[in-house]
A = this chain, B = another copy of it.
Amino acid sequence: MVNWKNFDELKSYGKLADTSRISLKKVLAGEKGAERVECMSVPMACGLSFNYAARPVDDAILKILSELAAEAELPEKFQELYNGAVINTGEKRLVLHHLTRGQLGSDVIADGVNKREFYETQQKKIAEFAEKVHAGEIVNEAGEKFTTVVQIGIGGSDLGPRAMYIALENWARKYGKLKMEAKFISNVDPDDASAVLASIDLPHSIFVLVSKSGTTLETLTNESFVKNALKEAGLDPSKHMAAVTSETSPLAKSSDYLAAFFMDDYIGGRYSSTSAVGGAVLSLAFGADVFAEFLSGAAEADKAAAEKDPMKNAAMLDALIGVYERNFLGMENTAVLPYSQALSRFPAHLQQLDMESNGKSVNRFGEPVNYVTGPVIFGEPGTNGQHSFYQLLHQGKTVIPLQFIGFRNSQIGNDLDIQGSTSQQKLCANVAAQIIAFACGKEDENRNKNFEGERPSSIIIGDDLNPASLGALLAHFENKVMFQGFIWNINSFDQEGVQLGKVLAKRVLAHETEGALSVYSRLLGI
């Protein structure tokens, strides 16, 4: 059995507090700097690599971080997790999203079934369903093929699948894999559903309703909204809707749906892109074979995350260095900066993944912790961000660690040589330049043009963004967040912080308010 101890009870915590800060400017200078960039790289799944030469660590700090990994029993805790321990202590649940894409350990039996088999069965059901839709065996009332899939979900049922769809849409177009266009309805703002409904060919659209509990306010409201629109168009909603839900939810056996695909309580919403939640919409959009490639990339990254030596485990190393920056260098934020337009919504997904998992103030036993936990995550794709918030990143009073992502090749491959370089080369040149600009700065007598440098970053580099490398990228960050949660001794798999707002909103709608809340409600026209 592993020991769950608070971070500040570990010997390595004290040792890390005693380390002295390294200067990136110094360690990245000259030949030694070049060597550092060569050496400080860990191979990841699917040909990706994690380069941390511009993170603020040296051999001494890395040695203590390795001790921390051992002392916090990170490999053993991951093992417990994938072997089916009750890691989600708050809700007393197993944490099984890794099983949706592979089997790392022993069979996990829960609720009387082998969970790997359960997830595989759902994938097969989805694959068959998608194939029938694509083949014109499942058709609309007029016997015509569906051309569009619309996901109705919010939070984890929206951000991850949406980010993944956007990441692969152009790739799929290029390789003739775009079977159906996908759209997403999430916000309870009626303008969201209205705008999406106005943009699609309703008679040829199939809707995937995603709610684990079958009770999410926004999702059920938007379902009614969509059903109403279908009826008004003279269409039969039950011929246009599938559900992704838990077996025990009211949606599971309803005749309102063409089909129901199941997830369970062991898959948190923000970890559900590789479950039926991502599987249904992505298999309909791109075909089940593309979704399978995506899963295989994630599985390969999981395997890499099971490596015990943190110096060979990119997710663990990323987590350890991030904790050092957060807890000992006082850095409150992390920016995610993919140099790939296809990853435009990937930062929004990581924002949920990380902030909802590790934005906690109590440990896994419900006791307050005396150290800071999860950072604020934000980001936009480069080079766009360079012309926006990078000013603060370079010259502001706040130092923010940066997570760059870059690919050697563009996705569509349509490019032009302009003034001696292609657009893709310009893109890659910019990210290389930014790493050095942030780390090394540049002195200038005019203080307004002076760059202090010492701003840390790492970069994940790959050849191409495709289904497999996307899966690996996703799993890298999921596993990084998990390891950080282990170090902070918090439960990264519940989200009690979202409950109070829901309770109060219900009270407002029931007009059961008083005091300040009733005034705010009135001001907002309720």
Contact = CB atoms under 8 A, between A and B. Distances in A.
Given A51-B523, A397-B361, A501 B372 contact: no
A339 interface: yes
A423 B387 contact: no
A523 B461 contact: yes
Nearest to A359: B392
A169 B223 CA distance: 24
B497 A390 contact: yes
Contact of A520 (B420, B436, B500): B436
Contact of A356 (B30, B392, B425): B392
Interface in A122-141: none
Interface in A444-460: 446-452, 459
Nearest to A348: B380
A376 interface: yes
Pairs of residues from A and B, 6 with the lowest C-beta to C-beta distance, nearest first: A359-B392, A155-B387, A408-B525, A433-B504, A359-B396, A394-B497
A373 interface: yes
A479 interface: no
Highest count of chain B CB atoms <10 Å: which of A362, A375, A516: A516
A190 B36 contact: no
Interface string A353-377: 0011011111000111101111111
A355 B391 contact: yes
Given A429-B521, A436-B517, A412 B498 contact: no
A52 to B, nearest CB: 12
Contacts of A505: 426, 429-430, 432-434
A421 B509 contact: yes
A79 interface: no
Contacts of A420: 509
A329 B426 CA distance: 42
A93 B514 CA distance: 53
Interface stretch (A111-119, A181-189, A298-306, A470-478): A181-189
Contacts of A515: 28-31, 33-34
Highest count of chain B CB atoms <10 Å: which of A373, A393, A409, A523: A523
A4 to B, nearest CB: 15
A368 to B, nearest CB: 6
A195 interface: yes
Contact of A508 (B358, B432, B459): B432
Given A383-B189, A387-B156, A37 B519 contact: yes
B189 A340 contact: yes
A398 B376 contact: yes
A179 B224 CA distance: 32
A383 B490 CA distance: 26
5 contacts: A37-B516, A158-B387, A194-B410, A361-B395, A433-B508
Contact of A390 (B36, B186, B360, B501): B501
Contacts of A497: 390-396, 451
A507 B224 CA distance: 57
B429 A36 contact: no
Interface in A333-359: 333, 339-342, 348, 351-352, 355-356, 358-359
Contacts of A433: 501-505, 507-508, 517
Given A495-B391, A509-B420, A509-B426, A447 B362 contact: yes
A142 interface: no
B429 A356 contact: no
B436 A356 contact: no
B519 A384 contact: no
A217 B423 CA distance: 10
Given A395-B496, A410-B189, A436-B520, A425 B373 contact: no
Given A395-B361, A396-B374, A432-B524, A386 B423 contact: no
A255 interface: no
Given A51-B520, A390-B498, A429-B508, 20 more contacts: A34-B519, A170-B194, A189-B339, A189-B381, A189-B423, A190-B424, A191-B412, A220-B418, A225-B416, A355-B389, A356-B390, A362-B395, A395-B496, A409-B525, A429-B506, A432-B505, A432-B508, A432-B526, A434-B501, A448-B491
Contact of A517 (B38, B427, B428, B432): B432
A494 interface: yes
A442 B501 CA distance: 10
A345 to B, nearest CB: 10
A376 B395 contact: no
